[in-house]
Amino acid sequence: MKKKLVRVVAVFIAVMMFTAACQGGGSAIPDDLVFDGGEIVTFTFYSEDGVRDLPWNTPIARRMTELTGVALQYDYPVGGLGVRVPLMAASGIYPDLIFAKGDGAILIEAGAVINLAPYIENSKYLKDFYGDLLPRMWHNGDPDTIYSLGPYAINQPIWNVRSSMPVQNAVLKEFGYPEVRTVYELEELLRAYIELYPTTPEGRPVYALTLNNADGWRYIIDLGNPSGFLAGFPDNGEWIVCNETLEATIKYLHPDIKEYYAWLNKLWNDGLLDPDSFTQTNDEYTAKIANGQILATVSPWWQFQEGEQSLRQRGMEDQTFAHLPITFNRDVMPIGSYDPGWSGGHGIMISKGCSDPQRLFDFLDWMTSEEGLVLRSWGVEGLHHTAENGVRAMIPEVELALESDPDYGDSQGFSWLHGFPEIGDGWLDSTGNTLTRNSPESIIRTYSPAARETLAAYDATMWADLFPPTSAFELSPFGAAWQVNIPTDSEINVLMQWVQNTWLPQQMSRVVMVSVEDFDAAWDEAIQILIDGGVYRLNEMFTELVRDKARAWGNY
């Protein structure tokens, strides 16, 4: 009996060790991939934005291998602590392909990535793909050094305009779609709605607003960003930048920013702000959105998207969000359609550890070919889209699933767009069809019935119709301030880390939660801490970086 037990335990341990050894990170590459032109090469790929495994066995991934002979093994940060890249740099062991976003600077400094400029010079597609925008990827303005391929879509028209403060369609419907332009007008509606419906039909409490604040870095999004957006400042991270002088100021020093926190403070004390705002996890936040408990939100679409998809999946269309041009006062423009211009920034890099950089680069190059772009956006012909009489169209069920099923995109492989070079919507290929599946019509098709009802009531067909056009804004001479690279080994980086990850979450949470009478004193104290911490020096140093960037863009 005892002997048997020992044997069982031994086998168990052996199996555990074996599986542990096999799991290098991400799931295994399936062995039934097809490629006619020789051997299939596997490269490892680390994405800082990854939240779950993306196995290389989706229809789109398989098709990519079929066409190129390359397979990618996905790896992503666990716990979201941002330690992976520094550890890579410290250990010197790199994945082949890296999408490290802001941490890319670390890898460049550590000499971990290869110079792509010579590869781009000889590329089939990439050089033309970026065209005039190529100088924006130069490292420190040097035309012979390009370390990363700029991420996010180039030449992107802003069709899919979203509000800085989306509100449930149900709220607008209840009161007969009144005109709402300011935060305060909206607040009145929310108060009245909660009077009528203090709980959801299942008995869960309803709140005017919740903040997704406590999970990792998310306070930057919900606690930091909306203060500027709702006051009419476009997204420059923690900064407000003057387009003429290019002077940058930490936004909290600007008098208009205080209004957001004073307003949150009022909501908090009136019990309209979800009391879990400062302690909940992202999952709890998503569940609240998905239960229809949150009437309005200040989160960006990618934050509440999962919750909204669940709402649609469960047929709670009225609880999805409407995008109205909301700001604190009527004199400022809502920034929904603002376009900072394509910024370059840190995208895909090839590491020194890659054994065959040319092969890998050719794969990236292919991704920007017509074939690659269409496959990544439209999916596989016959499975995801049809091409009858030369007209490419998404299969309606696929289009609906992409909008309403949170897992569908990943399961088919549509996620391979993110981080890689991407083209803007509306650009035509050689067949006269658009390269991406998005068009104003396709966007309208994705709107929920409730959204369409709301739009009809406001006499519009798209949310964009309610906002000023992109051309109403001044062109930014430097892009967006949050995309300005900060050297890692610098005083400015330390100060920035403190402002963004210590001062902002601690102090701004505190001022929201004090009593209304104490708010002004708490605010002044918080700003004093900011000033004592050396924020004026930070402003000066960052202004220089912004000017450098504007210079690289030829605007200073």
Q: Which two tokens stand for residue 48?
A: 């800082």
Using CB under 8 A as the criterion, what x/- string covers residues 263-282 for binding other proteins?
--------x---xx-xxxx-
- Distance, first Cα to last Cα, the chain: 82
CB of 496 to other proteins, least distance (A): 10
83 is a contact residue toward other proteins (CB under 8 A): yes
CA distance 24 to 12: 20
Site residues for other proteins, window 272-331 (CB under 8 A)? Answer: 275-276, 278-281, 284
The residue count for binding other proteins (CB under 8 A) is: 41
Q: Which two tokens stand for residue 10?
A: 């031994």
Helices 535-552 + 491-498 axis angle, to 10? 120
CA distance 377 to 350: 23
Q: Which of 40, 67, 110, 262 binds other proteins (CB under 8 A)?
A: 110
Stretch of 250-258, 329-337, 426-434, 496-504 lying at the interface with other proteins (CB under 8 A): 496-504
Q: Which two tokens stand for residue 480?
A: 């967006």
475 is a contact residue toward other proteins (CB under 8 A): no
Using CB under 8 A as the criterion, what x/- string covers residues 383-422 for binding other proteins?
----------------------------------------
Cβ-contact 226, 303 below 8 angstroms:
no
CB of 21 to other proteins, least distance (A): 22
CA distance 251 to 496: 13
492 is a contact residue toward other proteins (CB under 8 A): no
**Choice between 386 and 501, CB closer to other proteins:** 501
198 is a contact residue toward other proteins (CB under 8 A): no
30 is a contact residue toward other proteins (CB under 8 A): no
CA distance 515 to 531: 24
For 263, left (φ over 0), alpha (ψ -120 to 50), or beta? alpha
Cβ-contact 96, 360 below 8 angstroms:
yes
117 is a contact residue toward other proteins (CB under 8 A): no
CB of 508 to other proteins, least distance (A): 8
Q: Which two tokens stand for residue 487?
A: 């050297």
Widest CA span in the chain: 84
494 is a contact residue toward other proteins (CB under 8 A): yes
82 is a contact residue toward other proteins (CB under 8 A): yes
CA distance 41 to 56: 13
CB of 78 to other proteins, least distance (A): 11
CB of 266 to other proteins, least distance (A): 16
- Residues sharing a CB contact under 8 Å with residue 21, sequence separation 6 or more, in sequence order: none
Which stretches of the chain bind other proteins, using CB under 8 A? 81-83, 86-87, 89-90, 92, 106, 109-112, 205, 213-214, 219, 223, 271, 275-276, 278-281, 284, 488-489, 493-494, 497-498, 501-502, 504-506, 509-510, 513, 533
